[in-house]
Amino acid sequence: MAKKESFFINRVKSVGYAFKGAYLLLTTEASIQVQFSIGILVTIAGFYFNISTTEWIIQTLVIAIIMALEGVNTAIEEIADFIHPEQHPKIGLIKDLAAGAVFIFAVAAACVGCIIYLPKLLA
């Protein structure tokens, strides 16, 4: 019987797989690359406008959540295409729902950006 790997080795391997997934998303997915670029721009803006600690926390969370949601959306698209490569109304609906979930958060993220930066830009 194969010896079961230790809990620690398994955790290290899982982190490695997660790094691989994040690398794949950043290097192959246009939507993630767009969100990442926006994330870098607002980070530069954060330093430029010297935003508060609370604003940094909210901004960092918003950037991370939108990229994570895009990643989940990509994974759902991959599953959908894998289980049913041909056109099907249900696959279309599943993809639209996943994209809709990202869109809802993207609208909130844009609002957060306006709340943080509009007063600074207009001052």
Ligand X SMILES: Nc1ncnc2c1ncn2[C@@H]1O[C@H](COP(=O)(O)OP(=O)(O)OP(=O)(O)O)[C@@H](O)[C@H]1O
Of 9-17, 50-58, 61-69, 83-91, the window that binds ligand X (rule: CB under 6 A) is 83-91
91 counts as binding ligand X under rule CB under 6 A: yes
CA distance 97 to 75: 13
> What is the spatial distance between Cα 107 and Cα 113, in angstroms, rounded to a whole number?
10
Q: How many CB atoms within 10 Å of residue 42?
A: 20
55 in catalytic set: no
- Least gap, CB of 105 to ligand X (angstroms): 15
Q: Which of 5, 55, 70, 78 is catalytic?
A: 70
**Residues in 96-115 that interact with ligand X by CB under 6 A:** 96, 99
